């Protein structure tokens, strides 16, 4: 318990440090080591993984001071740099490690030289990315590359466009691309609409064809996804092949709700007692409710990973976490994510009504108490992500709205449990 509390304190101290003026000196020294002079800088986003560490992504403006030995003179000008307390290889190219009293060691690198994503520079290099995405013979000058998502030290997605054709390049940790490509092929063989792999992975980068359909989030904003029968989501999950059960087990979000509660405390320190009571309450109901049998699961089933055509799922994205689990955890992941959308954007006016529609339908597929308690856990995990929603750090209203969503889910779970005599 003492070790856990000490880790929590260190991570909170690191977050405070990354949000202060202290990063300027770290960024300046690290960039100077690879031939750049730091001009202006600003914290763009903060990523907290309870138990693993904290990473800040900083937007930077730099100018070349010299050409570092062994580096190409055509190396791109870095627009971002990262500072992390997560464990990284200390000998990784371009990474500078600083040991600071009272906090974890901090590693710094200029994007895209992520020490755990060796394929990221390839995916952002016009010539090499063109060959991987579209094959030989394509003019790399006609390729446009755009970084669509980036989770430092974990994964990234780059969109490559050449004429009318598009490919998504997914960048994973070392030795992760082959197993991911195999997952896609397994799903496709079973008739599950995962994206088609465009070829063999190169340097842990997988090229994929776009999946068809309209993003689920767009439908939610339009009319609450009125055309989508909630049973269509249950059906696509039940269509996952039995072979998925042979993959490694990944614990669901609810399994670490107390740790994620500490991430929420870092986002809303004034609500620390309230959040810790909530996390403890969620944990209690999750443990006492019926999670159901072990079945094939997606592992990260939410609106951002779903494409829809004519009311059916036509694209099931991001299958990295595919593996054995409980149906209730996939369904609660979906509910916990869509429930917080109105606090993210005013355009999601139809979501409350849609949430009730999906919630009632899912109640017939899994235990209603387990569903709501786990949805509460998912919403709680999303609080920390709201901490930097504005340049002035004005993420508190969004974070509070997510806290309120989690509390509402837990209240409903307890009410249902009490009505049937559970008393959790």
In three-state form (DSSP H/G/I as H, E/B as E, the rest C), the secondary structure along 108-148 is EEECCCCCCCCCHHHHCCHHHHHHHHHCCCCCHHHEEEEEE
Q: Is 81 within 8 Å of 111 (Cβ atoms)?
A: yes
pLDDT of residue 221: 97
Residue 162 three-state SS? strand
Structural domain includes residue 187: yes
Q: What is the number of domains present in the chain?
A: 3
Structural domain includes residue 234: yes
Give 65's Cβ-side CA count (13 Å radius). Answer: 12
pLDDT band at 90 (very low <50, low <70, confident <90, very high): low
In three-state form (DSSP H/G/I as H, E/B as E, the rest C), the secondary structure along 177-239 is HHHHHHHHHHHHHCCCCCCCECCCCECCEEEECCCCCEEHHHHHHHHCCCCCCHHHHHHHHHC
Whole-angstrom Cα distance, residue 177 to residue 170? 8
357 and 323 part of one domain = yes
Helix, strand and coil percent figures for the chain, each rounded to 5: 45, 20, 35
- Lowest-pLDDT range of 7-21, 143-157, 327-341: 7-21
Q: How large a percentage of the chain has pLDDT more than 70?
A: 92
Beta strands in 214-311 (DSSP E): 214-215, 295-297, 306-309
pLDDT at 100 over 90: no
200 and 259 part of one domain = no
Q: CATH number of the domain that 262 lies in?
A: 3.90.1200.10
pLDDT band at 119 (very low <50, low <70, confident <90, very high): very high
253 and 373 part of one domain = yes
196 and 246 part of one domain = no
Write the DSSP symbol of residue 21. Answer: S
Q: For all residues of the chain together, what is the average pLDDT?
A: 91
Structural domain includes residue 222: yes
DSSP bridge pairs for 323: 297
pLDDT at 104 over 80: no
Give the domain-ending residue among 208, 243, 276: 208
pLDDT band at 392 (very low <50, low <70, confident <90, very high): very low
Q: Is 46 within 8 Å of 83 (Cβ atoms)?
A: no
Give the domain-ending residue among 208, 239, 256: 208
- Lowest-pLDDT range of 71-80, 151-160, 410-419: 71-80
Whole-angstrom Cα distance, residue 178 to residue 266? 36
The tens digit of pLDDT for each residue in 359-383 reads 999 999 999 999 999 999 999 999 9
253 and 372 part of one domain = yes
pLDDT of residue 387: 52
- Lowest-pLDDT range of 86-100, 174-188, 201-215: 86-100
Q: Is 401 within 8 Å of 343 (Cβ atoms)?
A: yes
- Cβ–Cβ contacts within 10 Å for residue 362, how many? 24
pLDDT of residue 12: 82
Structural domain includes residue 424: no
- Cβ–Cβ contacts within 10 Å for residue 170, how many? 28
Residue 343 three-state SS? helix
Structural domain includes residue 338: yes
The tens digit of pLDDT for each residue in 295-338 reads 999 999 999 999 999 999 999 999 999 999 999 999 999 999 99
194 and 62 part of one domain = no
Q: Which residues contact 129 (CB under 8 A, 6 or more apart)?
A: 122, 123, 140, 143, 145, 158, 160, 169
98 and 144 part of one domain = no
Q: Which residues contact 91 (CB under 8 A, 6 or more apart)?
A: none
What average pLDDT does this structure show over 250-264?
92
287 and 401 part of one domain = yes
362 and 221 part of one domain = yes
How many residues does the structure list for the chain?
424
Q: How many helices (H) and strands (E) does the chain have?
A: 14, 14
Q: By residue range, what is the domain housing residue 247?
A: 214-419
Q: Is 302 within 8 Å of 213 (Cβ atoms)?
A: no
pLDDT of residue 67: 61
269 and 150 part of one domain = no
189 and 262 part of one domain = no
What average pLDDT does this structure show over 132-146?
95
Q: Is the peptide bond before 309 cis (omega within 30 degrees of 0)?
A: no
pLDDT at 148 over 50: yes
Q: Tell me the H-state helices in 19-139.
A: 23-33, 120-123, 126-134
pLDDT band at 153 (very low <50, low <70, confident <90, very high): very high
Q: Is 352 within 8 Å of 342 (Cβ atoms)?
A: yes
What average pLDDT does this structure show over 44-69?
85
Structural domain includes residue 115: no
Structural domain includes residue 229: yes
Structural domain includes residue 224: yes
Q: Tokens 């691309």 sit at which residue?
A: 177
pLDDT of residue 174: 93
Give the domain-ending residue among 89, 110, 131: 110
244 and 378 part of one domain = yes
Whole-angstrom Cα distance, residue 186 to residue 196? 11
pLDDT at 212 over 50: yes
């Amino acid at each position: 318990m003492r070790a856990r509390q000490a880790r929590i304190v260190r991570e909170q101290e690191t977050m405070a440090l990354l949000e202060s003026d202290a990063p300027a000196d770290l960024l300046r020294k690290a960039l100077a080591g690879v031939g750049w002079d730091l001009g202006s800088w600003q914290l763009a986003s903060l990523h907290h993984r309870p138990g693993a560490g904290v990473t800040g992504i900083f937007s930077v403006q730099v100018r070349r001071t010299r050409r570092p030995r062994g580096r190409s003179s055509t190396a791109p000008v870095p627009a971002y740099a990262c500072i992390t307390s997560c464990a990284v290889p200390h000998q990784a190219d371009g990474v500078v490690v600083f040991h600071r009293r009272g906090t974890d060691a901090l590693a710094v690198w200029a994007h895209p030289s992520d020490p755990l994503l060796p394929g990221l520079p390839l995916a952002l290099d016009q010539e090499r990315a063109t060959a991987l995405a579209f094959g030989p013979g394509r003019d790399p000058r006609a390729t446009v590359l755009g970084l669509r998502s980036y989770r430092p030290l974990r994964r990234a997605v780059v969109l490559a466009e050449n004429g009318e054709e598009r490919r998504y390049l997914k960048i994973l940790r070392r030795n992760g691309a082959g197993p991911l490509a195999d997952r896609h092929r397994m799903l496709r063989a079973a008739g599950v609409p995962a994206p088609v792999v465009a070829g063999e992975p190169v340097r842990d980068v997988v090229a994929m064809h776009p999946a068809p359909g309209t993003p689920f989030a767009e439908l939610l904003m339009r009319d609450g996804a009125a055309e989508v029968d909630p049973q269509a989501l249950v059906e696509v999950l039940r269509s996952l092949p039995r072979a998925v059960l042979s993959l490694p087990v990944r614990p669901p979000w609810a399994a670490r709700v107390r740790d994620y509660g500490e991430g929420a405390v870092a986002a809303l320190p004034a609500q620390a007692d309230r959040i810790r009571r909530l996390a403890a309450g969620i944990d209690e109901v999750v443990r006492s409710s019926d999670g159901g049998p072990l079945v094939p699961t997606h592992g990260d089933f939410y609106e951002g990973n779903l494409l829809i055509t004519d009311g059916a799922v036509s694209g099931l994205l991001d299958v990295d976490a595919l593996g054995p689990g409980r149906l209730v955890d996939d369904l609660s992941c979906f509910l916990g994510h869509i429930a917080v959308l109105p606090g993210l954007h005013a355009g999601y006016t139809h979501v409350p009504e849609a949430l009730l529609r999906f919630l009632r339908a899912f109640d017939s597929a899994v235990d209603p108490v387990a569903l709501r308690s786990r949805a509460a856990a998912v919403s709680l995990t999303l609080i920390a992500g709201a901490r930097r929603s504005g340049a002035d750090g004005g993420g508190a209203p969004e974070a509070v709205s997510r806290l309120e969503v989690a509390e509402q889910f837990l209240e409903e779970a307890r009410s249902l449990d009490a009505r049937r005599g559970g008393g959790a």
